[in-house]
């Protein structure tokens, strides 16, 4: 789920079922793709000093640390930042990585990167385009005959470009896999698994939001289908292709596709979700498998691996020039609360303007209790990844925290110039 899209779930739209005013407010805040969230009362202490590449010696507290502390003070239990520039690496931490023990957030711990997964999947599809094995103008029907049908949804009218750029109009499946938005509901349903086909079938029970190519709306269903297309073209699952084409060549040994394993590799911070305003935090470190297990958002990585991936992608190491240009062909997005005006959507990647001029590329990701924002300059030489390890139960706090995260990224990348 990206933090920078619509205002509702990993979904991008409000669930259609009822459940009362409290459930609606909680779901809006929880899934708010605007939701940089993290909730929990501000935690004091455990702020880690920055480090430089090579000698790992502490550096004085600076603007990067102050910005991380500001996110903590907005209610995030734990924050970690990794900034990589041609001059070296700096990491800072704030808050705690475990509310029970008070231990700090690990340095470069494993992160559930959620919808950042989509950039990896889009990269694989564009590599296949470069190999002449498919075209962005191919319809979904060509590769997945009969899969996208019903209630006005029609794969014969939807192209692969529509999927990658969220212009398909396809409805969101996530609204159907969160039947009970509460601590008890999380625990009850987190073990439930669905196939990609089942996820798409959920979406097909709803009408499309608009005709293909006539609008924009973030939908995780698009990337579940993109993963199925990768399998149809190659005969291998999307995650195996990601390993073969991206992880192995780049040496990303700390990036994994866990499938239906809900656990996190160590080390990692614990993640916490507030399901209603003023309620206590629920430990949500274990994945919620109904939406954490597919091509739309299942990858686990470290900040170092995530920075390396985006640096390689923007630096031209993963795509030929023609396909990289397609990835970066963007469209303007409507302004949304908590988002940076002028943000644009490419193919599996977003461009955000900087206050100092220019902009950065990246794709945020979120799940219950966690939010990650990676950002890389156009030349791939400077990257920063911010992780927040809790999310609040009200939308105002979520938007405030999101602004804190995007401010940190803006300040870090502008200062790195």
pLDDT of residue 11: 34
Q: What are phi and psi of 390, to 5 degrees?
A: -155, 160
pLDDT of residue 56: 37
CB under 8 Å to 174, separation ≥6 — which residues?
Answer: 1, 9, 10, 11, 31, 220, 291
pLDDT at 15 over 60: no
Decide: 352 and 406 in contact? Cβ < 8 Å: yes
- Nearest 5°: the CA angle 182, 299, 397 is 40
CA atoms within 13 A on the CB side of 360: 31
Distance of alpha carbon 89 from the chain centroid: 23
Domain edges within the chain: 20-416
> Once rounded to an integer, what is the mean pLDDT over residues 138-147?
98
Task: Give pLDDT tens digits for 243-291.
Answer: 999 999 999 999 999 999 999 999 999 999 999 998 999 999 999 999 9
More confident residue, 262 or 48: 262
Q: How far apart are CA 202 and CA 176, in angstroms?
A: 7
Second-level CATH architecture of 20-416: 3-Layer(aba) Sandwich (3.40)
Assign 341 a pLDDT band (cuts: 50, 70, 90): confident
Task: Give pLDDT tens digits for 175-214.
Answer: 999 988 999 999 999 999 999 999 999 999 999 999 999 9
Q: Which residue shows structure tokens 């935690």?
A: 43
């Amino acid at each position: 789920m990206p933090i920078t899209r619509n205002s509702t779930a990993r979904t991008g739209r409000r669930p259609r079922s009822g459940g009362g005013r409290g459930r609606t407010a909680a779901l809006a805040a929880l899934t708010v793709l605007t939701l940089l969230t993290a909730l929990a009362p501000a935690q004091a202490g455990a702020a880690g000093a920055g480090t430089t590449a090579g000698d790992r010696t502490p550096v004085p507290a600076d603007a990067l640390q102050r910005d991380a502390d500001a996110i903590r003070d907005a209610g995030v239990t734990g924050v970690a930042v990794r900034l990589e520039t041609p001059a070296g690496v700096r990491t800072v931490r704030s808050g705690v990585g475990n509310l029970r023990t008070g231990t700090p957030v690990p340095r470069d711990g494993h992160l559930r990167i959620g919808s950042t997964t989509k950039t990896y999947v889009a990269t694989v599809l564009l590599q296949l385009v470069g190999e002449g094995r498919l075209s962005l103008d191919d319809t979904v029907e060509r590769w997945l005959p009969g899969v996208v049908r019903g209630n006005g949804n029609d794969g014969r009218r939807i192209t692969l470009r529509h999927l990658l750029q969220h212009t398909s109009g396809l409805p969101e499946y996530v609204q159907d896999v969160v039947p009970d938005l509460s601590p008890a509901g999380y625990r009850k349903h987190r073990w439930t698994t669905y196939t990609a086909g089942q996820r798409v079938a959920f979406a097909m029970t709803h009408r499309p939001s608009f005709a293909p190519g006539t609008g924009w709306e973030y939908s995780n269903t698009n990337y579940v289908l993109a993963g199925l297309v990768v399998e149809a073209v190659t005969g291998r699952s999307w995650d195996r292709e990601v390993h073969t084409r991206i992880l192995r060549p780049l040496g990303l040994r700390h990036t994994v596709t866990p499938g239906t394993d809900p656990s996190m590799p160590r080390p990692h911070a614990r993640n916490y979700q507030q399901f209603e305003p003023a309620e206590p935090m629920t430990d949500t470190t274990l994945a919620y498998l109904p939406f954490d297990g597919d091509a739309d958002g299942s990858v686990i990585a470290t900040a170092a691996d995530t920075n390396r991936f985006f640096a390689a992608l923007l630096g031209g190491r993963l795509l030929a020039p023609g396909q990289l240009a397609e990835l970066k062909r963007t469209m303007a997005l409507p302004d949304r609360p908590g988002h940076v005006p002028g943000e644009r959507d490419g193919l599996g990647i977003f461009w955000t303007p900087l206050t100092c001029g220019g902009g950065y590329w990246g794709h945020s990701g979120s799940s219950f209790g966690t939010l990650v924002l990676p950002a890389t300059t156009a030349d791939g030489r400077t990257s920063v990844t911010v992780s927040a390890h809790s999310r609040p139960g009200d939308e105002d706090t979520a938007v405030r925290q999101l602004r804190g995260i995007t401010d940190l990224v803006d300040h870090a990348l502008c200062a790195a110039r």
